[in-house]
Amino acid sequence: MPDQQSREVEVVWNQCLDIIRESVSPQAYKTWFEPTRPLSLDDSTINIQVPNRFFYEWIDEKYYGVVRKTLMQVLGEEAKLVYHSLEEEMLETPETRSVRLPLPDNGRSGPIPSPRPAAGAMMMPIPSDYSGVELNPRFTFENFVMGECNQLAHAAAKAVADNPGRTRFNPMVIYGGTGLGKTHLAQAIGHEIIRRDRGERIIYTTSERFSLDFVDSIQNHKSNEFNNFYRSAAVLIVDDIQFFANKEATQDNFFHTFNALNQAGKQIILTSDVPPKQLQKVNERLISRFQWGLTTDLQPPDLETRIAILQKMSADEDYHLPSDVIEYIARNITRSVRELEGCLISLLAESSLRGIPLSIDLTRDVIGDIATVQEKSVTPEQIQTEVCELLEIPLSLLTGKSRKQEIVFARQIAMYMIRNLTSASLKSIGNFFGGRDHTTVMHSVNTIENLVKRDDDRVRRTLNTLYQSLGVGYRQ
């Protein structure tokens, strides 16, 4: 019988882990959920083992919503999860160490309430199954670290939060690579409007959720409810609009939703991984409307911003990171804020598991597995020199004001390579070329990117030769 019970709890917990794995990042899953072990299952209460109190507190604070929904899906509404620490026989009382399922309002048990709808979604009594997506409480302006890489986007977001629907930034499109803070900044606008208690309906959703809601409304004959819900927003925030691609019916509905809100003077905020004009398989009339307002980008954080972000993260978690540790992480993790956070989480977990203080040696051990691999470090000056030598152009012309076709081509190639091979911001790149504006740099980078996508033979041969001479792999 014990063996059968052991197998049963293992099967149940593995089912939970499979669902959790799909809901969190691979690094988060490996760090926080892989070390857990199922102990026993008593009706709807599952007991699991965690390495120490630090693990329990982190999971409960950061992933409570994910765990709650997972338990409810696998074990039903009465599900409870109780943590047991390897370091301690008990973590205070069963109540304080169990995931709050069901939520104990007054000591009575009852069904688990549905997740709280997107902030502001209940400000107007519209009977609907559509509730948007919950805003992340961490994604506020106070928690957003501003640097040269995001200064314009941050200023625009603050302006929109101050006067939603009453600025020229409507719609506001925030674009950039994965993990640079697009969702954070978009949700920060919603949080700020709610904080000021204007009584306005804020709906935050993703393009995927919007599409699923739309399909569901058709299948269940609730098109009017669906339209009334989304078009009742004073502020509509839609994340990852690139996933509207190929969904023609959804695009058509969103086109009409966009028009209804825009004509009513409501604020629309969109995020994307590329600027609107580069969206693939999205209707031209939608792309045209996305470009009506402000399009602003988020760039990878420079070194100073990465250091500030790490200092902010460690302060928020009440952990002191030595300055040499912070600088080591900042110099080796360069692509995104999300990578910085994943690295910090892994470092704190390793320190807790091994029971040793944070140090540069421990950091090297941890960072060695997840740091951004750079085949060879190159500088903007080296890239400029290589471009000038290959294309036989003096550096003074490359950085000067000449508009000759060959000079412009060389300048665009150099800007594109600096953007790809270094962490220099658009403004910094412009300074390397005689103080040019960041929009000029952006145009140059986009021009070369488009030529690469079109398989332009001259561009590919030029880039291949330059990458080889610099000793780095060809990066598209």
Residue 160 corresponds to which amino acid?
V
Among 340, 370, 400, the domain boundary falls at 370
Chain-centroid distance of CA 272 in Å reads: 11
Distances (CA, A) of 115 to 25, 46, 69, 132, 463: 21, 21, 8, 11, 50
Among 99, 117, 132, the domain boundary falls at 99
Chain-centroid distance of CA 157 in Å reads: 16
168 and 294, same domain (yes or no): yes
Q: Rounded CA gap, 225 and 176, in Å?
A: 33
Q: Report, as ranges of residue numbers, the positions in the chain whose pLDDT lies below 50.
A: 1, 89-128, 372-376, 474-476
187 and 155, same domain (yes or no): yes
**Residue 393 located in a structural domain:** yes
Domains held by the chain: number: 4
**Residue 169 located in a structural domain:** yes
**Residue 117 located in a structural domain:** no
pLDDT (0 to 100) of residue 92: 34
Range of the domain at 334: 303-370
- H, E, C per residue of 43-73: CCEEEEEECCHHHHHHHHHHCHHHHHHHHHH
164 and 36, same domain (yes or no): no
**Residue 384 located in a structural domain:** yes
HSE on the CB side for 173, CA within 13 Å?
23
In this structure, what token pair is assigned to residue 405?
A: 């076709």
212 and 315, same domain (yes or no): no
pLDDT (0 to 100) of residue 370: 59
Q: What is the pTM of this model?
A: 0.57
Q: Mapping DSSP to helix (H, G, I), strand (E, B) and coil, where does residue 203 land?
A: strand
In this structure, what token pair is assigned to residue 136?
A: 């992340």
266 and 318, same domain (yes or no): no
**Residue 126 located in a structural domain:** no
196 and 277, same domain (yes or no): yes
Radius of gyration, CA atoms only, the chain: 25
pLDDT (0 to 100) of residue 1: 43
89 and 180, same domain (yes or no): no
440 and 365, same domain (yes or no): no
294 and 325, same domain (yes or no): no
Beta strands (DSSP E) in 104-256 are: 172-176, 202-206, 235-239
384 and 352, same domain (yes or no): no
**Residue 124 located in a structural domain:** no
**Residue 108 located in a structural domain:** no
Among 298, 314, 343, the domain boundary falls at 298
294 and 345, same domain (yes or no): no
Chain-centroid distance of CA 5 in Å reads: 40
Q: Rounded CA gap, 437 and 430, in Å?
A: 6
277 and 166, same domain (yes or no): yes
CATH number for the domain spanning 14: value is 3.30.300.180
Q: Rounded CA gap, 279 and 270, in Å?
A: 13
**Residue 449 located in a structural domain:** yes
